[in-house]
Amino acid sequence: MEHIDKSRFAHVGESAHDREAIARPSLTFTQDAMRRLAKNRVALVCVVLIVLLSLMSAFAPIFSPFDYREQHYGHTNAPMFSVCDDESSAGYGHMHLFGTDTLGRDLYTRIWMGGRVSLIIAVTTAIVDLIVGCIYGGISGYFGGTLDIIMMRLLEIINGIPYLIIVILLMMVLEPGMMTIIIAYSTVGWIPMARLVRGQVVALKQQEYIAAAEAMGAKPARIILKHLLPNTLSVVIVRVTLAIPNAIFSEAYLSYIGLGIPLPKCSWGSLAQLGIQNFRMYPWQLLIPAICISLTMLAFNMFGDGLRDAFDPKLRR
């Protein structure tokens, strides 16, 4: 072995200051998660995409030369990029970027009008889903016993009542509009989530860290919120992202039976439904709303994956 001369090394000594310094900044759980999320490029791209779709929905209809309900009788089912030839319209000479629908309404304007409705519904119902489902499932799973059985039977009952009946009855009481749609979906939308969370909690509550928390005198609310739910997070996030397109289509279903947003307003779901009628002749009428929905879904899904990676305590390093 080659000899290394000791003189090549010098003792630097240690400074008390350096020794006490904290190499990494002190971070709370949330800060740590956000930091990791910010490092995830895919998740960031998805956030940008969602913001972009939201901005377009908010502003594109305002700047469009066409009104979302204005019908051009001479120009129905026009292909993409066709120029409006209706002299009585404010949009005369402008281009129908996405063509027109079966009544000659500008699809570009309608897509973004529809985006307003669909995105708001998607996000709010996802939040309701998350809050109600997690708490209900958490309580039911953690306490177990008779309470669990009763709470789960209640779910079965709500699940057993036909959605259509609930919706029609709601329609008698409420004015048609965005709020009603959210309420209608919220009555049943959270059930799969509650079931899922409960299933996870039932399995998790046997684990040592829960026993430890209990031994330390943690209250049930703390155990559920701080210990159990964070550990179910990965599954919960998947379910939420899957619930988003569900909510969008549920709205389309509602508009089909009259509880949807009042006509002639539209949503991506209702545009897709109208598009499917003639997709063989005018495929873009279906493709454009379908792509919007898929993009939203993809963005939320990838973003969800990023969130999961960032927030899951088990993956924390």
Partner 1 sequence: MARYVIKRLVYAVLTLFVLITLVFFMMRMLPGDPFLGEKAISPTALANMNAKYGLDKPVFIQYLMYMGNCLTGDLGMSITYNRPVMEIVSESFLVSADLGIRALIFATIAGILLGAVAAIKRGTVWDSLSMFIAMIGVSVPSFILGAVLQYFLGLQLRKVLGMNIFPIQGWGTFKHTLLPAFALGLGSLATVSRLMRTSMLDVLSSDYIKTARSKGLSQSQILWRHALRNAVMPVVTIMGPTVASVLTGTFVIESIFNIPGLGKYFVTSIKDLDYTMIGGTVVFYGALLIVCTLVVDLLYGLIDPRVKLED
Partner 2 sequence: MKNRLLAWLLCLAMLLTIGAVAVAETNPNAGLGYYPGTSAAGSIAVECSTMSVMNPIKMTYNTELGIARHTQDCLVKLSPVDNQIIPAAAESWESSADGLTWTFHLRPGMKWVNSKGEVVGDVTAKDFVFGWSELLNPANACEYYAFAAVFKNAQAYYDYASGVPGAPEVKLEDVGFKAVDDLTLVCELENVLPYFLQYVKFEVMSPIYEPYYTEVGADNYGTSPDTMLYCGPFYMTDWVLENKITTVKNPYWWDAANVELDAINWIKYIDTNAKMNAFQGGEVDLIDVTGDQRQMFTAEGFKVSNYIGGYSFYLYCTQDDPARDISNKNLRKAISYALDREQLINTVFKNDSEPAPTFALGISGVNTETFSEAILAANGGERLYPVNADVEKAQEYLALALEELGKTVDQIDITFMVSEGTQNELYNQVMQEQLRKNLGIEAKLEVLTITEARARRNAHNYDLFAGGWGPDYNDPMTDLDLWTTNNGNNHTGYSSKKYDALIALAMVETDMVEREQIFVKCEKLLAEDMPIIPTYWRHEDYVVSEKMVEGYARLPFQSYNLIYTKLAK
Token look-up 């309580």 returns 139
Q: Which is nearer to partner 2, 69 or 94 (CB)?
A: 69
Q: Are 274 and 101 in contact (CB under 8 A)?
A: yes
CA–CA distance, 167 with 171 (Å, rounded to integer): 6
CA distances 87 to 4, 74, 75, 93, 151, Å, are 92, 11, 12, 8, 62
Enumerate binding residues for partner 1 (CB under 8 A). Answer: 144-145, 148-149, 152-153, 156-157, 159-162, 164-166, 168-169, 172, 191-192, 195-196, 198-200, 202-203, 206-207, 234-235, 237-239, 241-242, 245-246, 249, 252, 272-273, 276, 279-280, 286, 290, 293-294, 296-298, 301, 308, 312, 314-315
| Helix orientation angle between 178-189 and 191-204, rounded to the nearest 10 degrees | 40
CA–CA distance, 109 with 59 (Å, rounded to integer): 10
Q: Which does 178 bind (CB under 5 to 8 A by kind): partner 1, partner 2, none?
A: none
Q: Which does 234 bind (CB under 5 to 8 A by kind): partner 1, partner 2, none?
A: partner 1
Q: Which is nearer to partner 2, 90 or 149 (CB)?
A: 90
Q: Which does 102 bind (CB under 5 to 8 A by kind): partner 2, partner 1, none?
A: partner 2
Residue 103: CB minimum distance to partner 1, A? 21
Enumerate binding residues for partner 2 (CB under 8 A). Answer: 69-71, 73, 76-77, 102-104, 168, 176, 255-258, 260, 262-264, 273-274, 276-281
